[in-house]
Amino acid sequence: MTDYKIGKNVKRMIKDNTNAIPSETRLAMTMHKILVSYYYFNSLPDELTSDSALKNLRTMEFIRLLLNDIILGLCMFRDDDNRSLSFDQVVKDLKDRKTKKDRIEDIKSLIEGYKQKTKNLENHRNSYIAHNAKSDKSHLKPTTELYKTIQLAVQITDKLSGQKNQYLIEDIDLRQANGI
Given this model, what pLDDT does residue 76 score? Answer: 94
Give the predicted TM-score (pTM) of the model.
Answer: 0.83
Note whether 177 and 39 are within 8 A (CB).
Answer: yes
Task: Using pLDDT thresholds of 50, 70 and 90, give the confidence band for residue 138.
Answer: low
Total residues found in the chain within this entry: 180
- Given a contact cutoff of 8 angstroms between Cβ atoms, the answer to whether 129 and 71 are in contact is yes
User: Residues 20, 25, 31, CA angle at the centre, nearest 5°?
Assistant: 140
Q: Domain locations in the chain?
A: 23-177
User: Is the confidence at residue 47, as pLDDT, over 90?
Assistant: no
- % of the chain exceeding 70 in pLDDT: 88
Residues 43, 163: Cα–Cα separation, whole Å? 28
Phi, psi of 58 (to 5 degrees): -65, -40
Alpha carbon of 66 to those of 3, 18, 75, 172: distances in Å?
Answer: 31, 26, 14, 19
Task: Give Rg (Cα) of the chain.
Answer: 19
Report the first-to-last Cα separation within the chain, whole angstroms.
Answer: 49
pLDDT digits (tens, 9 = 90+) for 87-108: 999 998 888 877 666 667 778 8
Q: How far apart are CA 33 and CA 121, in angstroms?
A: 18
Beta bridge partners of 91: none
Residue 161 has pLDDT above 60, yes or no: yes
Hey, which residues does 168 pair with through a beta bridge?
A: 173
d(Cα 82, Cα 92) in Å, to the nearest integer?
10
